[in-house]
Amino acid sequence: MTGPSADSSPAKRTETGLPNHVYDLVVLLQQASEDVVRYEAFAEDARLAGDDEMVDWCKELADSDREIVARASRMLALRLPTAAED
């Protein structure tokens, strides 16, 4: 975090060592990754219940979030300092 922010979240008021936008990208990556796990668990519950429509929908949601994870990972790799820069 590099400067004051109007956001009231504690992370936005605390020095993290990352610029705000990079911190936000880390959070987006974390949330999307957790959502993939959550949606896959929901799909398994639906499969066990024999609800194929819900299985398909949860799998679609998981796939969508996998795309977010992939894009956020690529974006983050470009924005994090390398070990040589430290």
pLDDT score for 7: 58
Under 8 Å CB-to-CB from 64, ≥6 apart: which residues?
none
Segments making up each domain of the chain, as ranges: 16-78
Q: Dihedrals φ, ψ of 38, to 5°? A: -60, -50
Instruction: Compute the distance between CA of residue 2 and CA of residue 37 in angstroms, rounded to an integer.
Output: 32
Question: Are the CB atoms for 72 and 28 separated by under 8 Å?
Answer: yes
Structure tokens at 30: 């974390």
Give pLDDT tens digits for 3-58.
444 555 665 667 888 889 999 999 999 999 999 999 999 999 999 999 999 999 99
